[in-house]
Amino acid sequence: MKSEPEKISRRKALVGFIVLPALAGIAADKTDGGKASKAHLAYQSSPHLGQRCANCRVFHAGKTPAAPGTCDLVQGAISPNGWCRVFVARAD
């Protein structure tokens, strides 16, 4: 029984071909602890155009929904309501 190949949406293709290489370029410029500084990624503690860290793929929530969490790419405590220029929406 042959399985049908998975169809790739335009959105997934754009993330794969545009966003992920951009993240790789930023990752190459990481500093202390393997993460970039907040200033380097233009981090702010408030949302930007409806985007916020709690809805980003690389954000890891704190102990409560309002508690600061961590990020795979940005140094330090990260607000769930924050934002930076490498925001990538979760594909939930």
Domain CATH number, residue 40: 4.10.490.10
Residue 20, domain member (yes or no): no
Residue 40, domain member (yes or no): yes
Type of residue found at 54: A
Domain span at residue 58? 32-92
Residue 7, domain member (yes or no): no
Residue 55, domain member (yes or no): yes
Write down the pLDDT at residue 14.
Answer: 53
What is the DSSP annotation of 38-82? Answer: TTTTT-BSS-BTTB-GGGBTTEE--SSTTS-BEESSB-S-B-TT-
Residue 23, domain member (yes or no): no
Per-residue pLDDT tens over the stretch 8-22: 666 665 555 555 556
Quickly tell me which residue has 């795979």 as its tokens.
Answer: 72
pTM, full prediction:
0.65
Per-residue pLDDT tens over the stretch 22-47: 665 555 555 556 899 999 999 999 99
**Domain tally, the chain:** 1
